[in-house]
Structure 1
Amino acid sequence: MKRAIPVVVLSIAGLVPVWLYQPSAGSSTVRTTTPAPSTSSAGSSGTNVVTTTTVDTEKGPVQLQVTFSGTEITAVKMLQQPDHPQTEAAVPKLVAETLRAQSADIDTVSGATITSEAYKKSLQAAIDDNAKKASAASPSPSAASPSPSASAQSARTVDGTAVDTEKGTVQVRVTFEGDEISAVRMLQQPNHPQTTAAVPQLIAETLEAQSADIDTVSGATITSDGYKESLQAAIDAKG
């Protein structure tokens, strides 16, 4: 009986470190690995919406939702971003540059380096995911290719009228897949910072509303009205 007591004591002593152990918390300031998109949902006839995983930075989380029409980036929406004035000022510039460059090879916005780098990582991950999805969905050589008439019916590009405003000319090019607006590109726009910031918002709203019945962007009323007029003309011309 006396021998059993030390054994019990040693057993209890061996469990104490296990009870006291807690995993060390990882740093929340940097996530160095390039994130893989968390979700990817296919729209109609070539439209793909990719929601990226959250990238944690020392300023706050960054997460994007990127809309593709085929391989073309048609919209970028910030789902999460640092609550910081410099980030708020940088995001429209990053989105505008993305739509212009059609890639993640864009400049870092001065004063928002951390957010810019996280944005570009997240964007590149979305582009890679879309490319993989497009490759997987491409028909095999043995599959019958669609007739030219079917392809023309599924995708059609229409230019809206050029609307002259006191700030400059506004004109859009709209891509339709069937009856759906799958992409909008600015052919002409005023060379003004407020216009540059407003255009991504107008395009995102158009893709969501699927019409020209969208809100005017505060601070860019003239451009917004010109955009909606040109967009409606393209919709009417499409028939």
Structure 2
Amino acid sequence: MKPEGGGAAPALRVLIVDDEAPARSRLRDLLGDIGAGQPSRVVGMAANGVEALRILEAEPADVVLADIRMPVMDGVELARHLGRLDKPPAVIFVTAYDQYAVQAFDLAAVDYLLKPVRAERLAAALGKLRPPARVADATLAGLAPGERRHFSVSERGRILLLPVADVLYLRAELKYVTARTAERDYVLDESLVQLEEEFPQRFLRLHRNCLVARAAVLGVERAGEQDGEAHWAVLLKGVDERLAVSRRQWPAVRQALGV
């Protein structure tokens, strides 16, 4: 992001994300204080990750200053969604908690500021982001305080947020995973193995290509006896659909469901 002709650096477009209004205002004021050395323009302020993503649909940003602990969607999950954009903004985490792995953020080319943020420290962080750095999703996954609340779904040039709790099952199809809800299917650019590892308590493997949400299971039934291919199938809440259980997985499924 070097200016043409050696002129002054262009203003960074900044999005501030913090659930506390005074913290958002302080960061905005600090950006104004360091504007001579690190010019910037605040494109918006949000109280959580969901609000931030909606703002970014209309106002692109070069860098996001994000608190880590926030309701609805925290800063780490927000960064993971941002990393799926074609041109993701850089992310600088701002938090009052110092127990996170600072070294890991450095490896991911993401800076980390402790509250109360000092002007010179903020200026130094912004100085690292010319050009903006890309967030490493694998590193963020390891640093997340808990499992994600949403999946990222790319449709028609925008990111849709699919609540994980709405998903009835996940099915691997070719290079993608289909997430089924009571209303429709969504395509995720993720692997079934990674999703199983991330959500071991939420989803249960039925066979090599399918995970079912434990909360969505209504019961099981014996199926396929008439054509000689007898097997067990899982009944789902809210949809008239059965999911086959492989012979290999049936003992584990039976134990997990208590049937």
Q: TM-score range by the shorter chain?
A: under 0.3
Q: Rg bigger for which structure?
A: 1
Structure with a larger share of its residues in helix: 1
Structure with a larger share of its residues in strand: 2
Which has the bigger relative contact order, CA under 8 A and spacing at least 6?
Answer: 1
Structure 2 length-normalised TM:
0.23
